[in-house]
Chains A and B, each alone.
Chain A
Amino acid sequence: MSNKNEWPLWEVFIRSKAGLDHKHAGSLHAADAQMAIENARDVYTRRMEGVSIWVVESKNIVASDPGEAESMYEPANDKIYRHPTFYNLPDEVKYM
């Protein structure tokens, strides 16, 4: 039901500090990528919460289906030997 004159929707990702990941902040409408970056700065970084901005048109995001979550992630559930806590070491062993 969207108006074809409506600006496309963009998803915004912000890196708040050097060294951190870009995190999804939300979405906004803009006519093109350049405008999306500028709008993202205005909407999501009024308090210096950003050193870097990524914008991606929402239609380009491919997401996994939550309905498939059970079968998709099931193999990982019973492999506890992937966690360090699975292994018992004598107390005398240091730095491991």
Chain B
Amino acid sequence: MRIFVAIKFLRMSVQSFQEHFDSLIDREITIEPKDWMPDDYRKTLIRQISQHAHSEIVGMLPEGNWITRAPSLRRKAVLLAKVQDEAGHGLYLYSAAETLGVSRDDLYDQLHTGKAKYSSIFNYPTLTWADMGAIGWLVDGAAIMNQVPLCRTSYGPYARAMVRVCKEESFHQRQGFEIMLTLSKGTEVQKKLAQDAFNRWWWPSLMMFGPPDAESPHTAQSVRWRIKRLTNDELRQKFVDVTVEQAKVLGLNVPDKDLKWNEERGHYDFGTINWEEFWNVVKGNGPCNRQRLEARKAAWAEGQWVRDAATAYAEKRKTRKAEAMKAA
């Protein structure tokens, strides 16, 4: 009899935890690490935050490619600072993911074994210096579009990490736009470089917002839990509207023959995205998927001695300190 009562009490407790959690979500009260949360909420957040973190770290590679070949010292220092920021963003996000009860090493393992994904935009190659401009302007621009609403996401550590990231991200977009501006107002060769980079990065940037709402299985639950504040299509539309105007300032052509202002909707109509390409890249068959993962795995393996040395040095310091105290 006592066992039945105990189980019934447990069931009631979980039910009341769920009701309390739901009321926090409904009242826009932030959920913090020690709060009770449904298992699926925790799992979804771990997946989303860690994949966001992986994206930042892998995202260092396409731009890292051009640091040694930046055309001026100023451009080099600026690009270096941007790539450094991306490392920092990855670290803020790993730190937020770890508050949910997952270890850093496990997250790296998921990335290295292909169990976890990262934003597929980083599976495209950076072929010219102009790509640095296009990435800063379009890729960081799309990221900002996605990240600003996330500053109000329901999970506290994720929201606070996003506030920090957004503060830093706006210089990223500006440096990219500045590169595009310099090129598009420059020589014929420079203008061609800028237009070519724009042509290659435009559609993949639109794909950054993910599949259409109708085909996005996670969206409904994420919106219900206030993890996601705006849908994929809503964000993508905002990005198009804002960026097309910026392209006019650059005097560059948007590589979309179906792009047209729709007076009735008050938005730009744009062409159909090549979803086959999108899914192909997500599945691992993009131009640089293998390269990116190999680079990450190599960095981890080749960095083992650094991790070991730091641990050994910490031990040495601890021993020296203890001996000094004994001698005193």
Contacts and interface: CB of A to CB of B under 8 A. Distances in A.
Interface of A: 1-3, 5-7, 9, 26-32, 34-35, 42-43, 46-47, 63, 65-67
Interface stretch (B31-39, B112-120, B193-201): B31-39
Q: On chain B, which size bracket covers the interface?
A: 20 to 34
A39 to B, nearest CB: 9
Contact of A1 (B103, B168, B317, B318): B103
Contact of A34 (B36, B95, B317): B317
B104 A32 contact: no
20 contacts: A1-B102, A1-B103, A2-B103, A5-B311, A6-B105, A7-B307, A26-B95, A27-B95, A27-B98, A27-B99, A30-B310, A31-B313, A32-B314, A32-B317, A32-B318, A35-B314, A42-B88, A43-B91, A47-B168, A66-B32
Nearest to B316: A32
Contacts of A43: 88, 91-92
Contacts of B314: 31-32, 35
Interface string B88-101: 10011001101100
Contacts of B157: 26
Given A34-B317, A66-B35, A7 B106 contact: no
Contact of A31 (B99, B160, B311): B311
